[in-house]
């Protein structure tokens, strides 16, 4: 007996909502009752992908348009919670505009658009009263409507979005009275020009990714007293005149210097502004080096609990820059190192902090090493970690090795002497 078919329509539709739109549509073959039921799921996600082999693109495109038309027509005016539309090639704006206006009128809450759209469509989107989450990919926004208002919006994601002028961006942010999370990835302008707009009291999470697009350097400010998460990837700017990040809990930084950077760029204020952070990720080697260059600006990181760094091929150059940060982190519990532990000198000749007895007071209890390969030089650095970190309770080594080498790599690590008898070594192979 088919027990699922005996369930009420509402429960079946709820079950179908956990499937992709293609999987849900395949259930229409089961019976007449199931024919259109999938169209009433509150989550509709459409993506025009490459056609299967031997199917002409024009036929594939037409099938896609017919399918979207059918789903929206059958479902009538039923509520839509989440809607995704990805179709950049072969579908005209007349179709996409009609589909999106349809879901905007049906109370959509979560909207993700990756389409070529006309300005009139953008006006409809930016005046939607029900949107809580909006993601736009590869859009050009020349202007916003006078009545732009997104009163319920809490998350805004902008990826490869081009604003024709600063006024359009400023109007967009001011239209979002409850905005808590802003994600900006590869925005085609100098970010510092709009930094005052990003100083919004409602922001709790801010993600900025502009490396590769910034041309002109300026003065960037972060005046965000309620911000708890910051992810910032960019060239180091000339100055950071205002940095108020007192509530910041987690920061992920990928900062690089333009040519001649240290001579005229100064991130000191930004570094000082991170003083209350609990989780810090320096996600590229150059960022670690920048912290070393401007070590005099480092505050006491009293709350820092978890620190992640990405190291160079020459490990000494990374950890030498890191030594000041470790000394300023009296309550550090977990240290994660991604990258290489190798360097050109023998371990016995190492002049970085590992060979200067600077770790004897380091409170780190958990050490995580990623991309470990088990070379003799890496093993030498591992030996120093174990000998000089007295508080270690766990070392987790994420390693890559062939099947026959796994036993040898593990044995070499377990045989190393340890300063702490409580220290456990755990090896995980990818």
pLDDT tens digit sequence for 361-388:
788 999 999 888 888 878 888 888 888 7
| DSSP code for 118 | -
Task: State the distance between the two ends of the chain, measured CA to CA, in whole angstroms.
Answer: 45
66 confidence band (pLDDT: 50, 70, 90): confident
For residue 17, what pLDDT is reported?
Answer: 52
Angle, nearest 10°, between helix axes 57-74 and 93-104?
20
Q: Is the pLDDT at 352 greater than 60, yes or no?
A: no
Q: What is the pLDDT of residues 218-227, one digit of tens each?
A: 888 999 999 9
Helices (H) and strands (E) counted in the chain, each on its own, are: 12, 19
pLDDT higher than threshold 50 for residue 356 = no
CA distances from 25 to 30, 31, 111, 154 (A): 10, 12, 21, 31
CB 307 within 8 A of CB 330: no
Residue 38 has pLDDT above 70, yes or no: no
Mean pLDDT of the 64-70 span: 87
Q: Report if pTM > 0.75.
A: yes
Token pair listed for 98: 């009609």
- Give 55 or 252, the one with higher predicted confidence: 252
Hey, what domains does the chain have and what are their CATH numbers? 278-430 (3.80.10)
> What pLDDT, on a 0 to 100 scale, did the predictor assign at position 23?
57
Q: How confident is the model at residue 120 (pLDDT cuts 50, 70, 90)?
A: low
Show the beta-strand stretches assigned E in 271-378: 279-282, 306-310, 334-338, 366-372
Higher-scoring residue by pLDDT: 217, 191:
217
As given in the structure block, the two tokens for residue 317 are 């150059």
Q: How sure is the predictor about 163, in pLDDT bands with cuts at 50, 70 and 90?
A: confident
DSSP 339: S
Name the residue among 330, 331, 324 with its Cα closest to residue 309. 324
Question: Cα-flanking dihedrals φ and ψ of residue 162, to 5°?
Answer: -110, 120
Encode 36-87 in three state secondary structure: CHHHHCCEEEEECCCCCCCCCHHHHHHHHHHHHHHHHHHCCCCCCCEEEEEE
Q: Is the pLDDT of residue 52 over 90?
A: no
Q: What per-residue confidence (pLDDT) applies to 48?
A: 85
Rounded-to-integer distance, Cα 271 and Cα 391, Å: 27
Task: Determine the pLDDT at residue 241.
Answer: 93
Residues 177, 151: contact at Cβ < 8 Å? yes
Please state, in angstroms and rounded to a whole number, the distance separating the CA atoms of residues 36 and 28. 6
CB 386 within 8 A of CB 423: yes
CB atoms within 10 A of CB 295: 16
Residues 167-197 pLDDT 10s:
888 899 999 999 999 999 887 666 777 888 8
- Distance from CA of residue 132 to its chain's centroid? 19
Q: What is the mean pLDDT of the chain?
A: 81
What pLDDT is stored for residue 8 in this prediction? Answer: 58
Is residue 43's pLDDT more than 90? no
């Amino acid at each position: 007996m088919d027990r699922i078919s005996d369930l009420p329509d509402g429960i079946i539709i709820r079950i179908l909502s956990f499937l992709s739109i293609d999987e849900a549509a395949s259930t229409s073959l089961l019976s007449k009752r199931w024919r259109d039921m999938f169209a009433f799921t509150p989550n509709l996600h459409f993506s025009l992908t490459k056609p299967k082999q031997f199917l002409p693109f024009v036929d594939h495109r037409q099938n896609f348009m017919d399918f979207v038309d059918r789903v929206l027509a059958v479902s009538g005016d039923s509520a839509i919670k989440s809607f995704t539309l990805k179709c950049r090639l072969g579908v005209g704006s007349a179709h996409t505009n009609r589909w999106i206006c349809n879901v905007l009128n049906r109370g959509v809450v979560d909207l993700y658009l990756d389409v070529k759209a006309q300005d009139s469509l953008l006006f409809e989107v930016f005046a939607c009263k029900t949107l809580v989450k909006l993601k736009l990919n590869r859009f050009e926004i020349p202007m916003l409507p006078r009545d732009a208002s997104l009163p319920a919006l809490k998350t805004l994601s902008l990826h490869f979005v081009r604003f024709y002028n600063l006024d359009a961006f400023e109007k967009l942010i001011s239209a979002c009275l409850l905005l808590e999370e802003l994600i900006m990835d590869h925005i085609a302008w100098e970010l510092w020009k709009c930094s005052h707009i990003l100083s919004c009291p409602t922001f709790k999470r801010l993600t900025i990714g502009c490396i590769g697009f910034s041309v002109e350097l300026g003065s960037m400010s972060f005046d965000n007293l309620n911000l708890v998460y910051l992810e910032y990837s960019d060239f180091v700017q000339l100055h950071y005149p205002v940095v108020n990040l007192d509530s910041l809990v987690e920061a992920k930084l990928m900062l690089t210097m333009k040519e001649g950077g240290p001579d005229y760029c100064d991130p000191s204020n930004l570094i000082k502004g991170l003083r209350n952070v609990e989780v810090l990720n320096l996600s590229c080697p150059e960022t670690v080096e920048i912290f070393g260059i401007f070590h005099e600006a480092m505050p006491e990181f009293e709350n820092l609990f978890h620190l992640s760094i990405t190291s160079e091929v020459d490990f000494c150059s990374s950890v030498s820059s890191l030594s000041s940060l470790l000394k300023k982190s009296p309550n550090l519990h977990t240290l994660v190192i991604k990258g290489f532990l190798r360097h050109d000198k023998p371990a016995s000749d190492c002049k970085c902090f590992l060979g200067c007895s600077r770790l004897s007071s380091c409170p780190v209890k958990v050490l995580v090493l990623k991309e470990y390969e088990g070379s003799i030089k890496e093993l030498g650095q591992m030996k120093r970690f174990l000998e000089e970190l007295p508080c270690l309770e766990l070392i987790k080594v994420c390693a890559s090795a062939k099947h026959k080498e796994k036993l040898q790599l593990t044995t070499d690590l377990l045989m190393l002497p340890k300063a702490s008898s409580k220290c456990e070594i755990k090896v995980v192979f990818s």
